Structure 1
Amino acid sequence: MESSSDKHFILVHGLSHGAWCWYKVVARLRAAGHRATALDMAASGVHPARLHEVASFEEYSRPLLDAVAAAPDGERLVLVGHSLGGLNVALAMARFPSKVAAAVFLAASMPRVGSHMGITIEEFMETIEPGFFMDSETMLLNTEQGPRAALLLGPNLLASRLYDQSPAEDLELGKLLLRPGSQFMDDPVMKDVTLLTDGNYGSVKRVFVIAKADSSMTEDMQRRMVDLSPGAEVEEIAGADHMAMISKPKELCDVLVKIANKYD
């Protein structure tokens, strides 16, 4: 019987973050004998591009798309997307459904079959109260495609809404390593209602992992995405803030291995 050691976990960060935020999870998965790769999306983490140089959401997602495309035949991937990273994973599912054993959405944007990907962000923005982003800095990037909105998450937002159950050292790490990020809301891929088909995106097993103590994407918001995606399974992590890979790394690893063992 195939075990999770035959799988390859590919981990995708959320807005403004990078591969670095998975350091606890990667270490635990590898120590347990599993393959795990954390990726920087374009202009994130230590990726050399600057955000204004990234032409599209597809280009932003290129490190993931290239990794999935390059996976050898027979290697079954478990893609794990956190927060905005759920949309990178969704795009990879739509492009390479046969290569993905399961897709895990960790307190993440999980679009539904037949909708456009940007709808998850649109609905999130409709539910949050004014001032939600607190001391975050908004900016307008001059790109070859025209002006694009970008956001640098502020330290007060990080402390109160993202890392509020995480160790203080990890909050400080986040403050040091965050880069400006974009949600690419005006990108054609975000508005494409033909992208997330039942035959491709919908054919991949989806598991939503609820971070039950998330102060930014509430449990109700997370469950609403699940309710709108029939067939998606659910796991829960008690006490996990939005940065569940940092606040509850052992519990998250246990969930990921359980998922990998379930789907071949």
Structure 2
Amino acid sequence: MESGVSSGMHFILVHGLAHGAWCWYKVVARLRAAGHRATALDMAASGAHPARLAEVASFEDYSRPLLDAVAAAPEEGDRLVLVGHSLGGLSVALAMERFPNKVAAAVFLAACMPRVGSHMGITVEEFMRTIKPGFFMDSETMVLNTEQGPRTAVLFGPNLLASKVYDQCPAEDLELAKLLVRPGCQFTDDPMMKDEALLTDGNYGSVRRVFVIAKADSCSTERMQRWTVDLSPGAEVEEIAGADHMAMLSKPAELCDVLPKVARKYYD
């Protein structure tokens, strides 16, 4: 889903686990109204993407829609502002490593934000280690039969969505999510997630990073988000009061104040 005019800043928006481009609809509309370009993408087997999750061989394949979009950006001219939400931060990190000269800045919205010298899956592992038993409530865990072997996936349950993910969102957005979420996978067994040499100072480390803390997040708590920032020195921090995990839906106007401010600071 791409919208906007040719002038202004170009934001590429990447959703989190089990979601899709649809969750950015309020942000896309606001950025477009302000004269910017906004491209919200479906990762593989997410949103309206036609693939099934069992057909996605790797985290790189899952992130391919973003990698292809950044690769297609002109070598000359305006660079991109990548925005990753939750698990989408890891796809953004991979794009930063591959195409650092095409990215003016990366925004991590309550997101997994890795650091040079650590494997990309470290933030996912820490999240899974710190949550309490029963965290996923009525979510359904499933085992997918893939060509790479069995892989665990999760389908978020309506009670989890209501109490921990969309708890500050309008009721309409919660109902939309119940209709549109799909099974998601964190790809924790993917070799790319365990490669401590994947992210380099010269590429990933050269791109400006801004972490946006959703201060009312019941899923990835403020404490967990600040741990992520501390893990990755050099990132700037913005905060949005009252934002739950789906800050793009619970506080879209506030997020759309932050994004152009970040972009103006680093856009060439």
Partner of 1:259: 262
- Provide Cα deviations, 1:221-261, integer angstroms capped at 9, x if missing partner: 10111111111000000000000000000000010010010
Cα distance in 1 between the residues matched to 2:207 and 2:8:
18
Partner of 1:104: 107
Q: Does 1:210 align with 2:189?
A: no
Q: TM-score, normalised by structure 2?
A: 0.96
Partner of 1:17: 19
Among residues 55, 58, 65, which one is paired with 1:56 in the alignment?
Answer: 58
Cα distance in 1 between the residues matched to 2:17 and 2:193:
15
Percent identity reads 84
Partner of 1:71: 73
Instruction: Output the amino acid matched with 1:232.
Output: A
SS at match of 1:208: strand
SS at match of 1:149: strand
1:122: Cα distance to partner?
Answer: 0.4
1:199: Cα distance to partner?
Answer: 1.1
Q: TM-score, normalised by structure 1?
A: 0.97
Among residues 109, 117, 131, which one is paired with 1:114 in the alignment?
Answer: 117
Partner of 1:131: 134
Partner of 1:27: 29
1:210: Cα distance to partner?
Answer: 0.3
Which consecutive unaligned segments of at least 5 residues does structure 1 have? none
Q: After the TM superposition, which parts of structure 1 deviate over 2 Å for at least 4 consecutive aligned residues?
A: none
Cα distance in 1 between the residues matched to 2:179 and 2:46:
13
Cα distance in 1 between the residues matched to 2:112 and 2:199:
14
Q: Does 1:93 align with 2:96?
A: yes
SS at match of 1:102: strand
Partner of 1:7: 9
Instruction: Output the amino acid matched with 1:240.
Output: A
Among residues 160, 167, 173, which one is paired with 1:157 in the alignment?
Answer: 160
Cα distance in 1 between the residues matched to 2:25 and 2:135:
28
Partner of 1:226: 229
CA-based RMSD: 1.0
Asked if structure 1 preserves the Cα contact closer than 8 Å seen for 2:8 and 2:35, the reply is no
SS at match of 1:216: coil
1:142: Cα distance to partner?
Answer: 0.3
Asked if structure 1 preserves the Cα contact closer than 8 Å seen for 2:216 and 2:242, the reply is yes
Instruction: Output the amino acid matched with 1:241.
Output: D
Which segment is superposed worse, 38-47 or 191-200?
Answer: 191-200
SS at match of 1:214: coil
Asked if structure 2 preserves the Cα contact closer than 8 Å seen for 1:6 and 1:76, the reply is no
Cα distance in 2 between the residues matched to 1:124 and 1:91:
20
- Provide Cα deviations, 1:81-105, integer angstroms capped at 9, x if missing partner: 0000000001101111111000000
SS at match of 2:138: coil
Cα distance in 2 between the residues matched to 1:236 and 1:128:
23
Cα distance in 1 between the residues matched to 2:78 and 2:54:
34
Partner of 2:3: none
Cα distance in 1 between the residues matched to 2:80 and 2:181:
27
Cα distance in 1 between the residues matched to 2:224 and 2:188:
19
| TM alignment of 1:126-205, pairs within 5 A | 126-205=129-208
Instruction: Output the amino acid matched with 2:259.
Output: L
Which consecutive unaligned segments of at least 5 residues does structure 2 have? 1-6
Asked if structure 2 preserves the Cα contact closer than 8 Å seen for 1:39 and 1:63, the reply is yes
Equivalenced residue count is 261
1:57: Cα distance to partner?
Answer: 0.3
